[in-house]
Amino acid sequence: MKKSLLGAEFWPTPAVTILFLSAALLLGACFPALAQSAPAGVTLPQLYPLTQAWQGSLTYLDYRSQKLVTLPTHMNGRQLAPRQLLLDFSYREPNGQQVAGTDTLELSADGQTISWDGTTLRVTQNTALFAAGGQSWQLVLEGAGQDNGKNCLIRKTVEYNAKQLIVRKEVKYAQEQAFLTRNTYTFQKNYPTSQQQP
């Protein structure tokens, strides 16, 4: 026998008991999922690998020919402001011409989003990985943007370990079920890390 909020005594009916048990189970199932839905925010030290000097290649999908093109590429990053990085790229075209490009990254105060060349991408995964070769780090970002003149969902994946840096861009257009790999940077260190810390 229990007392109601008004002070009257009552016996909970089976239906009421089932209702309360169901609600408790539902809340127990929902709250852990909500707690896990927000990954850890990104910190600026986690982005420091991008401020080093790297050499490697860019492989991208040429939409005109629908073929993959690979260009030798160098990247040098630097910190512009407390939460802002600039990535300088140098590409060598098949005809030998050198082409330059830049990306600007700005980290939000809470570390939950990165503005990558003006496109706001939210952190969906921020994970330290451990393998036989040592520790590595993976960052996955997603956000609405445009590619090839069309609206799409953009996914950026950054993978880093002591020897290699990979930055992959994928896009998913409306009505499509799967992501399409737009381009992939694959880099190896150009200089010792100690010479490149900001």
The H or E element that residue 198 is part of is none
What's the rounded Cα separation, in Å, for the pair 192 and 188? 11
| Residue 188 pLDDT level (bands cut at 50, 70, 90) | very high
Q: Are 124 and 140 in contact, with CB atoms under 8 Å apart?
A: yes
- Across 6-112, where does the E strand assignment appear? 9-10, 53-62, 67-81, 84-92, 98-107
pLDDT at 47 over 70: yes
pLDDT at 18 over 50: no
Res 12: pLDDT? 52
Task: Tell me how crowded residue 2 is: count the other CB atoms within 10 A of its CB.
Answer: 8
pLDDT in tens, 122-139: 999 999 876 555 678 999
Q: For the whole model, what pTM was predicted?
A: 0.76
What's the rounded Cα separation, in Å, for the pair 129 and 141? 17
For 44-195, CATH number?
2.40.128.20
Of all residues in the chain, what percent carry a pLDDT higher than 70? 75
Structural tokens at position 129? 């990985």
Q: Tell me the domain boundaries of the chain.
A: 2-36, 44-195
